[in-house]
């Protein structure tokens, strides 16, 4: 069998970017949460806020570090595997990614040090400021990278001359048509991720009866937040979809599993798309509902996949199912947020064990929703890389052979598997040790290093009774 | 119509970024390279703590280098990376392992030796791979119409292996002189001891590379030997720096060895640049041919002028916060 460098590069890119994406989406939400906790600690002087902040900062440090190492890989992917694309789009993507480095990455790196290690070294106000700067940095970062990605979805402000994009309007290119929706949708996804993880972990501690006071506060806060942002995500997602209908109708057709352009299109709840025969094998749907959602008219005409040639269709089943998983999880999130409101009288939200158990499992839901969301977006634009202008096949590195691509694909899988396993193992330890290990944090020695992960100095090993053993502390 | 030669300005900016990266990440990679040879496990703790606060910021210069090349000289980005495909993967894998090793080594007990190896191995592979990039740059690339057309392993030749070893030795020297600056007692004594042999190794390898390079490339031999030019001042300065390292180590100076090593790097780097100028993708393309659109270069330059001074300011502030000697038993925990 001939190894196809294009397919292998696509798999590799999908793998490394999905691996990378799970970290930022969490750190963006968590950074803001920590900034809020720091603000509350600063204002009220209630030690509970500081305990919570110190704990979540440790978790943050681990996740952020994994985001950094996987992000460095991303910045070289365009050159190694997609060099024709990099060559063509450098006039736009180059400055955008460089702006991300100088306005976001340096900012995050510097102030993270102060946030992690500076609690006793700088005045409380400066420490709070550092927390706010880190949170701001993560948003600046997502601003630039989502602008880059949105431009690939809905290119604007450029013209193609001799195979190279030239920017004709920077503001049109940066604020391209799908950018505002994607940025908001992603920001909300980050908050949802932060919110559900914090809620899930707090629920788990409450189930075990640990640090009830602090965890109740954290859970209550999260539930209020989720009550607003979970429904907001539905609304934003709806607008996002309408925007996509305008600019990438084929993608919407794939999301809806709609093969023929017609009116009164049903909203399919379940179907098995059969791309070969251009139809669905089995359908359960709500009559005319898709027309209603997409055109706000029961008789509205919805474009189908038959508008484009078969070779120009994306893989329908992936888009169709990913979209359903994302929306399904979104609905489940709204349900949980409402349940939280319903259980609030009498403080049942922190006593009802079923609810707490449910929340525990919901903590992975946002990660799945985010990944499937990206699958919809990215797979749905196939075969285009820059929508309507440049295909994936044109973009791949010409000198790349199947063997080379396979070598690095396997290499990244092995490396990431090892790093991920160690990271998760380590995060689990942080969670097991829990909030009370906070004391050791306050004895900040003058030489504490400033970088990700090292704030989370929790032992790796357990003794024979299953109690945590302090790690061999640097020769002390 | 175009007021400035932006490509030229950008060549200086990228050149500055690269030497910033080499000097800053160089010493912390060097500490990693020396790691297995340290006198004791306690000393390894101190070594790691001495670079722990700053390595992450140092590495961000590499990211800036990548993004900056894409923005200003896309042809460099899109020829080097495909040509060095396998090497780039090894470089990144090395950086990943050493990055996480910082974190996990201090939490581990039984598995600690694994993270020691991850740190040392990752640093060594990354340093070697960077040296290979330098060698591949001197060697030149097989291109057609601005696209790399060579094979997967063209970069791997005896010459690039030698430049790989050269940078490995060079980074180790930066690492040992950094340790002289940041440590005291037995560890510092050890660092003093290994500095002179490392210096000799660096001089030998750099010497062989210098003699070899004119044979690899005609332009270089023409430039250096056709007539006695002023550029001979650079190797002379390099040797002076080497002499200064040797003397300052003998006199037990603490800061001077590190500073002179940086000098040695800078003069060698300038020597490389003048040999190659203005070719950024040898043997064919000059910096003007590799440049992106004037507009794009300008758009980024304007922002850079504003933001980079601020970045430099808070970077300096971090170094200031973590100034002074690192002592055993303090630091990580
Ligand atoms: C919506 C958010 C988002 C998305 C879609 C991406 N990233 Fe990312 N990235 C971040 C948000 C982020 C972040 C939150 O800013 C991180 C996480 C940890 C960190 O240090 O910053 C980060 C880290 C990070 C780093 C390391 C920065 C450092 O050294 O400190 C690089 C080089 C990249 N990213 C590059 C990319 C590329 C090339 C992407 C696309 C293909 C990408 N990221 C997608
Ligand atoms: C961070 C969240 C992201 C995730 C989870 C994600 C996921 C994916 C997936 C699954 C594919 C494969 C589609 C296919 O081949 O069928 C893909 C393709 C691609 N994406 Fe993204 N993406 C993300 C962000 C980005 C960003 C921010 C950019 C650019 C700035 C980008 C650029 C690309 C490119 C160049 C491809 C083409 C390679 C390919 O088809 O695999 N992605 N992405
Ligand atoms: C609740 C109902 C939701 C709707 C109607 C909705 C709608 C959409 C649509 C239409 C897209 C594709 C846009 C395009 O490619 O042009 C999308 C993408 C995406 N969704 Fe959702 N979504 C919902 C919930 C969620 C939730 C709960 C999350 C995560 C917590 C999420 C995360 C994402 C992400 C990360 C993307 C890819 C990036 C982007 O294109 O914005 N979505 N969503």
pLDDT-derived band of residue B227, with 50, 70 and 90 as boundaries? low
> Whose alpha carbon is nearest atom 2 of ligand 2?
A21
For an interface test with A, the pick among B87, B96, B149 (most A C-beta atoms closer than 10 Å) comes out as B96
CA dist A407 → A4, A332, A421 (Å): 13, 40, 21
Q: Which atom of ligand 2 is nearest to the CA of A318?
A: 16
Distance CA A461, CA A150 (A): 45
Range A300-328 burial, b when 16+ CB lie within 10 A, else e: bebbbbeeeeeeebbebbbbbbbbbbbbe
Of B17, B26, B19, the closest CA to residue B258 belongs to: B26
Q: Do B67 and A94 touch (CB under 8 A)?
A: yes
Q: Which atom of ligand 2 is nearest to the CA of A382?
A: 16
Nearest ligand, CA A362: 3
Can you tell me whether residue A385 is helix, strand or coil? Answer: strand
CA dist B10 → A100, A284, B284 (Å): 18, 59, 19
Q: Above pLDDT 70, what percent of chain B?
A: 96
| DSSP β-bridge partners for residue B147 | B144
Q: Are B30 and B201 in contact (CB under 8 A)?
A: no
Distance CA B68, CA B290 (A): 13
Q: Which atom of ligand 1 is nearest to the CA of A146?
A: 5
Nearest-by-Cβ selection for B82 from A80, A118, A450: A80
| Chain A residues near residue B88 by CB distance under 8 angstroms | 76, 79-80
Host H or E run for residue A283? strand A279-286
Contact status of A472 with chain B (Cβ, < 8 Å): yes
| Assigned token pair, A56 | 């979540």
Q: Do A460 and B104 touch (CB under 8 A)?
A: yes
Q: Do A86 and B77 touch (CB under 8 A)?
A: yes
Of A111, A128, A160, A118, the closest CA to residue A41 belongs to: A128
CA dist A36 → A32, A132, A337, B174 (Å): 6, 8, 20, 42
Q: Crossing angle of helices A212-247/A249-256, nearest 10°?
A: 120
Which residues, in sequence order, are CB contacts of A426 under 8 Å at separation 6+? A62, A456, A458, A460, B103, B104, B107
Of A16, A10, A11, the closest CA to residue A419 belongs to: A16
A141 lines ligand 1 (CB under 6 A): yes
Fold of the B6-321 domain: Formate dehydrogenase/DMSO reductase fold (1.20.1630)
| CA-based nearest residue in chain A for residue B323 | A447
Nearest-by-Cβ selection for A400 from B85, B299, B303: B85
A80 lines ligand 2 (CB under 6 A): no
ipTM: 0.87
> What pLDDT is stored for residue A80 in this prediction?
95
Host H or E run for residue B148? strand B147-148
Tally of CB atoms within 10 A around B189: 13
Q: Do A86 and B78 touch (CB under 8 A)?
A: yes
Distance CA A289, CA A256 (A): 11
Distance CA A77, CA B68 (A): 15
Helix spans in chain B (H): 6-34, 41-51, 55-72, 74-83, 85-105, 112-139, 158-182, 185-216, 218-225, 233-250, 256-276, 287-290, 294-321
> What pLDDT is stored for residue A469 in this prediction?
46
> What pLDDT is stored for residue B228 in this prediction?
61
Q: DSSP per residue over A99-167, as a string?
A: HHIIIIIHHHHHHHHHHHH-TTTS-HHHHHHHHHHHHHHHHHHHHHHHHHHHHHHS--SEEEETTEEEE
| Chain A residues near residue B74 by CB distance under 8 angstroms | 86-87, 90-91, 94
Nearest ligand, CA A370: 3
Q: Do A118 and B317 touch (CB under 8 A)?
A: no
Q: Are A219 and A369 in contact (CB under 8 A)?
A: no
| DSSP β-bridge partners for residue B279 | B286
Q: Where are chain A's structural domains?
A: 5-247+319-473
Range B144-165 burial, b when 16+ CB lie within 10 A, else e: eeebbebebebbbeebbebbbb
What is the least distance, in Å, from the CA of B161 to any CA of chain A?
20
Of B84, B95, B188, the closest CA to residue B137 belongs to: B84
Which residues, in sequence order, are CB contacts of A249 under 8 Å at separation 6+? A303, A307
Q: Do B300 and A404 touch (CB under 8 A)?
A: no
Q: Determine the distance separating the centroid of ligand 1 and the alpha carbon of A17, expressed in angstroms.
A: 10
Q: Determine the distance separating the centroid of ligand 2 and the alpha carbon of B232, expressed in angstroms.
A: 50
Nearest ligand, CA A179: 3
Rg over alpha carbons for chain A, rounded to the nearest Å, is 24
Q: Do B57 and A109 touch (CB under 8 A)?
A: yes
> What pLDDT is stored for residue A129 in this prediction?
92
Residue B226 has pLDDT above 80, yes or no: no
| Assigned token pair, B89 | 């993967």
> Whose alpha carbon is nearest atom 43 of ligand 3?
A237
Q: DSSP per residue over A18-38, as a string?
A: HHHHHHHHHHHHHHHHHHHHH
**Could you tell which of A240, A251, A324 is best to mutate to test the pocket of ligand 3, judged by most ligand atoms within 8 Å of the CB?**
A240
Tell me the pLDDT tens digit for each residue of B92-151.
999 999 988 887 787 676 788 888 999 999 999 999 999 999 999 998 899 988 889 988
> What pLDDT is stored for residue B329 in this prediction?
57
| Assigned token pair, A188 | 């909300």
Q: Are A225 and A333 in contact (CB under 8 A)?
A: no
A395 lines ligand 2 (CB under 6 A): no
| CA-based nearest residue in chain B for residue A78 | B78
Q: Which atom of ligand 2 is nearest to the CA of A371?
A: 5
Q: Do A404 and B85 touch (CB under 8 A)?
A: yes
A105 lines ligand 2 (CB under 6 A): no
Nearest-by-Cβ selection for B331 from A91, A449, A458: A449
Q: Do A94 and B292 touch (CB under 8 A)?
A: yes
| Chain B residues near residue A87 by CB distance under 8 angstroms | 74-75, 78, 146-147
Residue A264, judged by CB atoms within 10 A of its CB (0-12, 13-18, 19+), counts as middle
A319 lines ligand 2 (CB under 6 A): no
Distance CA B44, CA B246 (A): 25
Q: Determine the distance separating the centroid of ligand 1 and the alpha carbon of A182, expressed in angstroms.
A: 16
| CA-based nearest residue in chain A for residue B316 | A110
Residue B218 has pLDDT above 90, yes or no: no
> What pLDDT is stored for residue A472 in this prediction?
42
| Chain A residues near residue B315 by CB distance under 8 angstroms | 106, 110
pTM: 0.88
Q: Is there a cis peptide before residue A181, judged by omega within 30 degrees of 0? A: no
* Among A residues 45-104, those touching chain B with beta carbons less than 8 Å apart: 62, 65-66, 68-73, 75-76, 78-80, 83-84, 86-87, 90-95, 97-103
| Chain B residues near residue A23 by CB distance under 8 angstroms | none
| Chain A residues near residue B290 by CB distance under 8 angstroms | none
Nearest-by-Cβ selection for B99 from A69, A92, A456: A69
Distance CA A276, CA A301 (A): 24
Over range B1-20, report the average pLDDT.
Answer: 87
Residues of chain A with pLDDT below 70 are: 1, 436-476
Q: Do B80 and A400 touch (CB under 8 A)?
A: no
| DSSP β-bridge partners for residue A160 | A165
Q: How far is CA A86 from the centre of its chain?
A: 24
> What pLDDT is stored for residue A451 in this prediction?
41
**How many contacts does A have with B, using Cβ atoms within 8 A?**
279
| Assigned token pair, A40 | 């509350």
Over range B63-91, report the average pLDDT.
Answer: 95
Can you tell me whether residue B296 is helix, strand or coil? Answer: helix
What is the least distance, in Å, from the CA of A389 to any CA of chain B?
19
> Whose alpha carbon is nearest atom 28 of ligand 2?
A149
Distance CA A292, CA A191 (A): 29
Host H or E run for residue A269? strand A267-274
Residue B269 has pLDDT above 60, yes or no: yes
Host H or E run for residue B143? strand B143-144
Distance CA A102, CA A208 (A): 44
Tell me the pLDDT tens digit for each residue of B298-318.
999 999 999 999 999 988 887
Can you tell me whether residue A267 is helix, strand or coil? Answer: strand
| Chain B residues near residue A109 by CB distance under 8 angstroms | 56-57, 60
Nearest-by-Cβ selection for B296 from A91, A401, A474: A91
């Amino acid at each position: 069998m001939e190894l196809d460098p294009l397919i292998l590069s696509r798999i590799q890119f999908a793998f490394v970017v999905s691996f990378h994406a799970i970290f930022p989406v969490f750190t963006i939400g968590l950074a803001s949460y920590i900034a809020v906790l720091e603000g509350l600690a600063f204002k009220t002087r209630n030690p509970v806020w500081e305990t919570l902040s110190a704990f979540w900062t440790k978790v943050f440090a681990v996740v952020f570090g994994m985001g950094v190492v996987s992000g460095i890989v991303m910045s070289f992917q365009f050159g190694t595997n997609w060099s024709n694309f990099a060559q063509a789009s450098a006039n736009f993507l180059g400055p955008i990614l460089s702006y991300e480095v100088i306005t976001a990455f340096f900012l995050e790196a510097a102030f993270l040090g102060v946030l992690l290690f500076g609690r006793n070294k700088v005045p409380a106000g400066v420490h709070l400021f550092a927390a706010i700067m880190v949170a701001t940095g993560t948003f600046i970062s997502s601003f630039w990278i989502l602008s880059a990605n949105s431009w690939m979805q809905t290119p604007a402000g450029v013209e193609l001359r001799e195979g190279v994009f030239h920017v004709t309007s920077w503001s049109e290119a940066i604020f391209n048509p799908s950018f505002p929706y994607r940025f908001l949708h992603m920001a909300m996804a980050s908050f949802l991720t932060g919110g559900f993880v914090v809620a899930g972990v707090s629920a788990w501690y409450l189930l075990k009866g640990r640090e009830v006071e602090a965890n109740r506060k954290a859970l209550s806060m999260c539930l209020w937040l989720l009550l607003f942002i979970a429904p907001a995500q539905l609304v934003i997602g709806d607008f996002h979809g309408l925007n996509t209908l305008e600019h990438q109708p084929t993608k919407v057709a794939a999301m809806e599993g709609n093969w023929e352009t017609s009116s009164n299109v049903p909203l399919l709840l379940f179907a098995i798309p059969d791309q070969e025969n251009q139809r669905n094998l089995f359908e359960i749907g709500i009559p005319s509902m898709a027309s209603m959602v997409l055109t706000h008219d029961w008789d509205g005409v919805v474009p189908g996949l038959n508008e484009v040639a078969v070779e120009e269709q994306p893989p329908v089943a992936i888009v169709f199912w990913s979209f359903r998983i994302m929306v399904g999880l979104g609905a489940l999130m709204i349900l949980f947020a409402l349940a939280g409101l319903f259980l609030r009288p009498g403080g049942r939200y922190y006593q009802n064990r079923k609810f707490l158990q449910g929340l525990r499992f919901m903590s992975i839901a946002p990660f799945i929703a985010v990944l499937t969301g990206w699958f919809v977006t990215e797979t749905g634009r196939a075969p285009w890389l820059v929508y309507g202008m440049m295909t994936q096949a044109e973009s791949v590195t010409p000198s790349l052979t199947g063997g080379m691509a396979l070598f690095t694909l396997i290499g990244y899988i092995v490396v990431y598997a090892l790093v991920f396993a160690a990271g998760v193992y380590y995060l689990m330890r942080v969670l097991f040790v829990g909030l009370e290990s906070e004391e050791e944090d306050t004895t900040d020695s003058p030489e504490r290093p400033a970088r990700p992960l090292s704030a989370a100095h929790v032992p790796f090993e357990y003794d024979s009774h299953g109690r945590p053993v302090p790690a061999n502390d640097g020769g002390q | 119509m175009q007021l400035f030669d932006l490509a030229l300005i950008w060549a200086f900016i990228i050149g500055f970024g690269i030497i910033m990266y080499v000097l800053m990440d160089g010493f912390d990679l060097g500490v990693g390279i020396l790691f297995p040879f340290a006198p004791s496990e306690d000393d390894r703790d101190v070594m790691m703590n001495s670079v722990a606060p700053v390595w992450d910021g140092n590495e961000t210069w590499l990211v800036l280098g990548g993004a900056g090349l894409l923005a200003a000289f896309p042809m460099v980005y899109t020829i080097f990376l495909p040509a060095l495909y396998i090497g780039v993967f090894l470089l990144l894998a090395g950086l990943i392992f050493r990055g996480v090793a910082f974190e996990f080594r201090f939490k581990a007990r039984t598995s600690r030796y694994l993270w020691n190896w991850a740190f040392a191995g990752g640093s060594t592979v990354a340093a070697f791979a960077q040296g290979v990039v330098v060698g591949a740059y001197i060697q030149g690339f097989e291109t057609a119409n601005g696209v790399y057309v060579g094979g997967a392993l063209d970069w791997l030749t005896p010459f690039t292996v030698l430049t790989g070893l050269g940078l490995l030795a060079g980074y180790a020297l930066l690492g040992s002189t950094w340790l002289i600056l940041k440590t005291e007692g037995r560890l510092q004594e050890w660092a003093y001891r290994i500095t002179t042999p490392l210096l000799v190794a660096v001089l030998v390898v750099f010497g062989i590379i210098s003699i070899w390079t004119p044979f690899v490339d005609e332009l270089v031999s023409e430039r250096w030997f056709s007539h006695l030019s002023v550029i001979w001042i650079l190797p002379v300065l390099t040797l002076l720096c080497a002499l200064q390292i040797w003397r300052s180590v003998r006199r037990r100076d603490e800061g001077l060895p590190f500073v002179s090593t940086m000098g040695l790097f800078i003069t060698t780097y300038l020597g490389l640049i003048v040999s190659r100028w203005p070719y950024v993708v040898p043997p064919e393309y000059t910096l003007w041919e590799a440049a992106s659109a004037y507009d794009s270069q300008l758009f980024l330059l304007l922002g850079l002028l504003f933001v980079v001074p601020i970045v430099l300011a808070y970077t300096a502030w971090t170094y200031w916060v973590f100034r002074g000697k690192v002592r055993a038993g303090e630091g990580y925990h």
